[in-house]
Structure 1
Amino acid sequence: MRLRSDIFVSALMRRVFARGDFAAVEVKGAEEAGAVFVRQMFRDGRESLHAPAPQSFFEADETGMRLFETRLAGVEAQVVAKAIARERRFDGDLWVISIETDTLGDLIDFAAAVPKDDGFFRR
């Protein structure tokens, strides 16, 4: 069973602050099951956007972990803002968490680059 979005966000923010970095909820989404997007801000003004990984990246025996994929990396802030605006038009229940850090380290888990070959996917 997947952790509620509001609890996941709260735990993520506590971990960020414990590292000495800064985080803020930019957009509050649905508490139970809203998608969580992470807006990573770097010191030089660039940003990256990390979004929920597609379902094809999940194992059949899902552990409830939230996996992310990088949608934009090291781009201007306006590019990330436009991408978030597009996503919000599509899904009004999403969360956007802004984190000011140069490295996410172990804050969020990233999906593998290639989906698991379960007979449906061919490499």
Structure 2
Amino acid sequence: MRIRSDIFVSALMRRVFSAGGFAAVEEKGAEEAGAVFIRQRLRDGTETVYAPAPQNFFEDEQKATERRFEKRLERVAPDVATELLARERRFDGDLWVIELETDGIEGLFAVVDPG
């Protein structure tokens, strides 16, 4: 069973704050099972967007309970990230968007390599 979205978001935000970064909920989605998108704002003014990883990255049942993300956009202008997230919102009104201001995401959440 996968952890609820609201609990995952709360834990993620605490990890970011404890690492010296900033985190905020930009868009609040369904508490139990809303998809979570992560918008990382970088110091150079660009943004990276992480989206829920496709189901084929969950080989076994134990890993299926863990939320994993894929890098959807990397170091793009803020308006490009905003446009992507607006399209995703039109498709799924229950999604979460979490904004992070941190240099690194290591140890904050799992990112899969599509290659």
The aligned residue for residue 27 of structure 1 is 27
The aligned residue for residue 85 of structure 2 is 84
Where 2:85 maps in the other structure, the secondary structure is: helix
Length-normalised TM-score, structure 1: 0.89
> CA, structure 1 residues 87+54, in 2 after alignment: closer, same or farther (shift >3 Å)?
same
> Does the Cα contact within 8 Å between 1:57 and 1:112 map onto a contact in 2?
no
Contiguous gaps of at least 5 residues in structure 2: none
CA RMSD of aligned residues (A): 0.9
Where 1:72 maps in the other structure, the secondary structure is: strand
The aligned residue for residue 119 of structure 1 is none
Amino acid at match of 2:68: L
> Does the Cα contact within 8 Å between 1:26 and 1:97 map onto a contact in 2?
yes
Higher mean displacement: 1-10 or 102-111: 102-111
Shift of 1:60: 2.9
Shift of 1:42: 0.3
Shift of 1:6: 0.1
Contiguous gaps of at least 5 residues in structure 1: 115-123
Counterpart-to-counterpart distance in 1, 2:71 and 2:113: 11
Q: Deviations over 1:47-66 (max 9, x none)?
A: 00000000111113233100
Counterpart-to-counterpart distance in 2, 1:41 and 1:76: 10
What percentage of aligned pairs have identical amino acids? 61
Q: How many pairs are equivalent? A: 114
Counterpart-to-counterpart distance in 2, 1:6 and 1:61: 22
The aligned residue for residue 10 of structure 2 is 10
